[in-house]
Structures are given as structure tokens and as C-alpha cells.
Amino acid sequence: MPEIRKDPIVDRWVIISTERGKRPQDFPSPVKRIKKGSCPFCAGNESMTPPEILAVRPEGTSPNQTGWTLRVVENKYPALTLGGAVDRVGEGMFDKMNGVGTHEVIIESPDHEMDLELLSERRVEDCLWAFRKRILDLKNDPRFRYILIFKNHGDSAGASLEHTHCQLVALPIVPELVSDELAGSKRHHDYKERCIFCDMIAQEQWDGKRIVVQNEKFVTLCPYAPRFPFETWLLPRYHSARFESNGGETFPQLAEIFKETLLRMRMALNVPPYNFVIHTAPLQGNHEDHFHWHIEIMPKLTRQAGFEQGTGFYINPVLPEEAADVLRKVKL
Amino acid sequence: MPEIRKDPIVDRWVIISTERGKRPQDFPSPVKRIKKGSCPFCAGNESMTPPEILAVRPEGTSPNQTGWTLRVVENKYPALTLGGAVDRVGEGMFDKMNGVGTHEVIIESPDHEMDLELLSERRVEDCLWAFRKRILDLKNDPRFRYILIFKNHGDSAGASLEHTHCQLVALPIVPELVSDELAGSKRHHDYKERCIFCDMIAQEQWDGKRIVVQNEKFVTLCPYAPRFPFETWLLPRYHSARFESNGGETFPQLAEIFKETLLRMRMALNVPPYNFVIHTAPLQGNHEDHFHWHIEIMPKLTRQAGFEQGTGFYINPVLPEEAADVLRKVKL
């Protein structure tokens, strides 16, 4: 059973997941460059993964057979495990709990050569629906406090398999950066009775210099204080705290702008490795007034070094106004 | 002039340093594999760096000539610049200030093939004295609130030059992770009237399973909730808030254990890339009771991916008890 331990000084939680464990000689670990034929995420290799939890497949095809266009399966090397209670315990002055959670993989295409941004809008929308369905299902488990959905794309962004996929982790705690966002947006709301993200969108639209693209319901922008070059956020222009409370009203527009944003990044930066993370309200508690869900997209263009690790203070060599301008000018 | 901008949501400060700027096509940037002869940090190439601020050199040799064993020079591509006022200003709802600061390089050896842990204890001690002297000098500038000393060693740890060196950055703000440590240690002190680091050292010494090595005045241990595999902290066993208040009483012992710790890591992990960061109290304010300076050493064995970036929540595949055991068993 993995453990989740808390640093007593900065209240930072860490997963110690030795099931994925490595001996010293196993570092650094190369990305598995698995060939098309032997990739567990490819069509025809369904038996190489745990059984599917969810799939988009034509009527008449059976689970765990070919024919699907999207599949959700459990991660074969999960960072957290589903069985057991959370059990918070002390170890002298230290705190820990069991690593209870789930770790799932969303395979967005049966095609080994495909990338998310190259799929049709309809297929990108299928991914959004899969995220929503999995959140709504996992929300029924009272042990979970947060569901994190993210993508590691490309070697240096931490992908361990090159076949396009997203990951979902259900956690028994609210992670630190989300807590910080909640605290910051709550403080703003207590003071001004407005959502800080709505305020930010309004200000960004006023001069437009950090806006990349927008449609009726969504906007993509380079944030004022980005940690990374070409860091880009995708936000709903309407106030909404939770990703999963969205659906047919907005997902077509979200799929459109999400694909376009990733495509602009792909073309401007020559197919960069990237990460994206969906920031949404925790499963419990009332965050409806002050939190505003969004997607943070971070191309991996620089290495993070001691300075950043030692300070939580980032050095970014690219102005967000310039990054937005470059992304805006891409000819699609 | 670089700018320092604040994310309004989580109060995270970011340096936007376009002087080191890169166009999209410049990413990702390879490490400069500069040959021995043309390396600006090598003996004989003193004219390739800005003039020396400090050096350890035999009497009779002139500044910026050969003969030195340690040199401190300004970074040729600084993240922050020395001239001007800090000037905090608002941009609508956003906050920024000028990127006032210094960025210096401590070259620990004139020899291109040398590494810090291979130097003699006496030469490691010279580095400690250089850190102290630079802090005491920069402390006189009232614009600075924090001085960060760190090392990026090896390609994937973010070193841009392979010749062994440390870096020093003086900042007009206290970085976020240090603020978090200060807040956490203050909270503990308010409640228990004891230093949380001293408490932690006492608990670690009780069963010893996370201790790597100790001498009379210092201890090296793998912390209870490490973010990274083989993350190791070096702490004084006596209470002390500031690195720069140490000197001849303790530096010989610090040099000894610092060298030994890095050497154990080098041998256990096959010359890994690594970062270390000195955590010390901010220049201003009274943190003497509750803060405890220390060095955090982080070998770079795993890639950080979307999960960590999106959450501030780390997945670590190695138990600190096992890491400590591996490091303890290295035969020197």
C-alpha cells in the first residue's frame, strides 16, 4: 500500500509509491519507446491493459475488443490503490495516511501515431465526456477529496508511453497548489464579492494583449505571471467552479478551442512536449462562488533547476504578451 | 530591466527575464558542451568572465589572472540586474516590480574536470567562506530581502555550463517556499516554543533509520516526506537560523560532512545530476527563534511531470528509509 506523508514544515503532502519502485541502479529511467505492435494502448492489444472501465465504441462491439475510438483503463502501475481506508496516523511528530485512490488512463485514440490536437473536434469532445463521466462516478466514493486530470505528452514532459493518453488520479486530500488557488480566490471573493478569475478575464479582454483565441463561451490566454514560457490557460468565460457541471451546452465549444490552442502551440513551437492539468473545485465543500475551473497548458521548453525547486519562484525568459502574439499569429 | 510579477491567485512571484530571452525556435536549449580550452570558467580564460568579485588566490597573484583556486564573478546572463529601485507598481488588478537583484557565479575550481565532492575538505570550506562573505556584503543593500545559493550540477539538473560552479541570487522578495517554511516553523514555535527542525532532528536521532551520516555539529538525513528519490538534507545539530552567522567554529565540520554526503550520493547513484539549495532566514525580520538553516540536496533521477506541476504534490518511488540505508552503506 502506498503511503501519503506530510512534510511537517510546509504542510506539503508526498506520495511514497514504492510499487512503482526503483532501485538506485534503475535511475534515470528512459521512456519506453514501445513499437507500434507491442504497445498496450494500440488497437488489437486490449488484453495487455487492465479491463476497460469506459469506452467509446460502435454498438455491437464487445468490451476489451477492437473497434473503440476511446478507452479508459486502470493504470497498470498505479501511484495509489483502491482498497482500504484512508487511516490517518501519526509517527511521532510526523503524519501519514494510506495511499488510497485510483489512477486511470484515458487512451484518446487507438492509433499509435495520433496526437490529441490532431483528432477531430468530435473526438476531442469524447475525451471531455469521458473526463466528466469518470469524475461523476468517482465522486460517489466519500474517501476521495480531489480528482486530478492531466496529460504528460512527450519524453521530457514525463510521458512513460508515447501513445497519446491522459491520466486521472483520485486523491484522499486536496493538493497544495489547488488549496492555494482556493485560498487566494476565496480571499478575493470575501473582499470584493467577485470571482478573481472572472475579474482577470475581464481585464484581459480589455486590452487583449495576452489573449490567444476565444469563442462565445471560452477564452485562451497567457497568464500575467506565467511560470513557464508559453504557459497558456483555457478558461470558461462564464462563471463555473467545476469541470463536471459542464456538458452538452459547452463541450462542443470547449473541444473546438482546446484543439485549436494545442494546435497553435504545436505549430508555433515545433511539436513541443507539454503537460496540461485541469484545475477544478474539490469534491467536497462549497467553492461555487469563488472558484473557477480552467485548464493550464505548459509546454516543456526549459528545464527546471535548483533555483525553482529551492524557492517555488520561477525564472521565465518569455513575456506572456510575446507568447500570446506568437500563438495568435500561427496560420492554421 | 527584468520584471517580477505576482500571480494574483496564489501570490506566486515569477521573474520574467527576457534578457536571457529566447525566441520560440531556440527551445529546447541544449547544454553548452564547451570544450576545456574555450570554457570561461577555466584557468587562463579569466578575461572571458566579468571581473572577479572575490577570489581565493595565493599572495602575489593579480585579480583576473591565473593562480586562483576559487573565483566569484557576476553571471554574464543575469536573471536580475543590479541598477535601479525596486518600484512596486500595479497593472490593473496585477502586481509587478522591477527585477532588481544580483546573480553571481561561484567557480569552485579552475579545473574543468573537477566536481565539488572531489575537492579536498579545505577547498570545500573555501566555498563555504565565499558564500558567507558574499551574503555579508550583499546584506548591506536594503533592497534585498533574500539571498539564495544553489547548485545545478549536470545536464538534466539545469546546468548551462558543465564546469563546476554554484550560483547566488539576491532577491527583492522572499520566495514562496521559504515563506512557507517560515510560516510553518513559526506556527510550531508559537504552539510549542521549540524549533520544529530541532524537534525533527531529535526524533530522527531516536531511531536513526533516516540518518545518513553525522559528526559532532551536523547531521545528514533523508527527510520523512521527501519530494524526490534520495532527497537528502544537511542540518546543523545546534539551533541556528542563518547560514552566514556560522564560521570558523563549524565550517571545518560542515565541509567534511558536505563532501562526504555528496560523495556517498555520487557513488550510490553513479554520478547523478543534482541540485542543492541553501535554505536560510531572510535578511530582514526576526526569525532567530523558529527558523533553522539547512541545505537540501536533490539528485535528479526522475522527471517532473504534469501531476507534480498541477498539484504541488509529488510522487516519489523511493522510501527515505531505503534511500538512507543505501547512502549509509556506501563504502568510501
DSSP string of A164-184?
-EEEEEEESS--HHHHHHHHH
Asked if A244 and A139 count as a contact pair (C-beta separation under 8 A), the reply is yes
* CATH domain A3-171 topology: HIT family, subunit A (3.30.428)
Q: Is B197 on the interface with A (CB under 8 A)?
A: yes
pLDDT of residue A309: 65
d(CA B265, CA B280): 23
To the query of whether residue A165 is one of the catalytic residues in this protein, the response is: yes
Reported confidence tier of residue A30, pLDDT bands at 50, 70, 90: very low
The third-level CATH classification (topology) of the domain covering B3-175 is: HIT family, subunit A (3.30.428)
Do A3-171 and A176-329 have matching folds? yes
CATH architecture of the region A176-329: 2-Layer Sandwich (3.30)
Name residue A221's amino acid: L
On the CB side of B66, CA atoms within 13 Å amount to 6
Chain B residue numbers touching A8 (CB-CB < 8 A): 184, 188, 196, 200, 224-225
Instruction: Report the complex ipTM.
Output: 0.87
Residue ranges of the domains in chain A?
3-171, 176-329
Which chain A residues contact residue B22 at CB under 8 A?
229, 317-318
Which are the contacts of B83, defined by CB distance < 8 A and separation ≥ 6? Answer: B1, B100
**pLDDT band at residue B6, thresholds of 50, 70 and 90?**
confident
Question: In terms of pLDDT, which residue wins out, A192 or A175?
Answer: A192
Predicted pLDDT at B196: 94
Q: Facing residues of A66 across strands?
A: none
Centre a 10 Å sphere on the Cβ of residue B140 and count the other Cβ atoms it contains: 8
| B177-329 CATH choice from 3.90.1170.40, 3.40.50.620, 3.30.428.10, 2.60.40.60 | 3.30.428.10
Report pLDDT digits (tens) over A231-290.
999 999 999 999 999 999 999 999 999 999 999 999 999 898 899 999 999 999 999 999
Contacts of B277 in chain A (CB under 8 A): 306-307, 309-311
Q: CB-based contact (8 Å) between B158 and chain A? A: yes
CA distance A173 to A117: 31
Tell me if A27 and B175 make a contact (CB, 8 A cut-off). no
pLDDT at residue B30 in the model: 41
User: What residues contact residue A170 under an 8 Å CB cut-off, 6+ apart?
Assistant: A80, A101, A102, A138, A141, A144, A146, A147, A148
- pLDDT tens-digit profile of B201-251? 999 999 899 999 999 999 999 999 888 889 999 999 999 999 999 999 999
- Nearest in space to A127 (alpha carbons), one of A73, A165, A89: A165
Tell me the per-residue pLDDT of A86-111, one tens digit each, with 9 for 90 and over: 888 888 888 888 888 899 999 999 99
Q: What's the pLDDT tens digit per position in B57-84?
A: 999 999 999 999 999 999 988 878 877 8
Query: B148–A312: do the CB atoms touch at under 8 Å?
Result: no
- Put simply, whether A148 touches B (Cβ < 8 Å) is yes
Longest dimension (CA), chain A: 60
Nearest to A277 among B24, B177, B306 (CB): B306
Which of A167, A185, A310 has the CB atom closest to B177's CB atom?
A: A310
The span from the CA of B220 to the CA of B238, in Å, is 13
Shortest Cα distance from A111 to chain B (angstroms)?
Answer: 23
Q: Which residues of A touch B185 (CB under 8 A)?
A: 9
Contacts of A12 in chain B (CB under 8 A): 180, 225, 227, 312-314
Q: What is the pLDDT of residue A168?
A: 94
Q: With a CB-CB cutoff of 8 Å, which residues 106-135 of chain B face chain A?
A: none
Q: Determine contact: B310 vs chain A, CB below 8 A.
A: yes
